Amino acid sequence: MSDTGKTSAPAKVSPAGKVMRDGLWYNNPIFVQVLGICSTLAVTNNLRNTLIMVLGVSFATSMGSMTLSALRELIPRKVRMIVQVLVLSFYVIIIDIVLRAYQPAISKQLGPYVGLIITNCILMGRAEAFAASNPPGLAFLDGLANGLGYGWVLLVIAIVREFFGFGSLFGFKLVGDWFTPWTIMVMAPSAFFLVAIALWIANNYKAKVAAAAKAAAPGAAGAPAGQGGKP
């Protein structure tokens, strides 16, 4: 006899899995927290520069969060933000030194934006909201997830901007001479519009998923028996 009357319990998500899932989608830095928008506008007209920025932010956020989490019991509350800035600056300086040594051309193209990683609200936001109250392992994953969640949105925007703005990806020409580049795509206003469109698509999709989940929930099809016919 089949046990058709029982419903399977929802699968439990581990703390690490929840942290990764939240950073990549459910609490995405751009779609939900609306952080890191300045660099979204500054570097996304070139896919190579965007990738370097994504790797830099992910490294600084994950390593900075892990370090601050390990030191959280030793940092006096009154000076915690000063210490956070110092620790995060340390990792940003490492990124800048490595780029200057091994990728001088990209370092020159990015200019001050590498150093300005420290001003990215995602770094301080995760340090204050998560690393200050969670163990180092989870803090590292949270920083990595938020860096990658921020990164995949930037990469999608960079693909659109570089392709339509230059007809190329990673500097490799993909279309012939017949293609007329869209000059607007290499200008900052296009990034504003693309971020807005991405936010609209993501929020619209989330709303549809939430509505579908609510409709599929037990008891959602109709009101319980005995509760009048009032609308």
Q: Where are the domains of the chain?
A: 15-159
Write out pLDDT tens, residues 169-203: 998 998 888 989 999 898 888 888 999 999 999 98
Please tell me whether residue 47 adopts helix, strand or coil conformation: helix
Q: Quote the tokens at residue 25.
A: 């989608």
Pick the more confident residue, 133 or 37.
Answer: 133
| Residue 160 confidence class, pLDDT cut points 50, 70, 90 | very high
Write out pLDDT tens, residues 197-228: 999 999 899 889 888 888 887 765 554 544 44
| Dihedral angle computed from the Cα positions of residues 138, 139, 143 and 144, in that order, rounded to the nearest 10 degrees | -30
Q: Is residue 187 exposed (0-12), middle (13-18) or buried (19+ Cβ within 10 Å)?
A: middle
Amino acid of residue 38: C
Q: What is the mean pLDDT of residues 18-35?
A: 91
Write out pLDDT tens, residues 110-146: 888 888 888 888 999 999 999 999 999 999 999 999 9
Q: What is the C-alpha to C-alpha distance for residues 47 and 202, in angstroms, rounded to an integer?
A: 22
Q: Which of these, 105, 121, 131, 15, lies nearest to 52 by C-alpha position? A: 105
Average pLDDT, the chain: 87
Pick the more confident residue, 224 or 48.
Answer: 48
Residue 224: HSE in the Cβ half-sphere, 13 Å Cα cutoff? 1
Sign of CA dihedral 63, 69, 73, 77: positive
pTM: 0.85
| Cβ–Cβ under 8 Å, residues 104 and 116 | no
pLDDT at 55: 94
Q: What is the mean pLDDT of residues 97-103?
A: 94
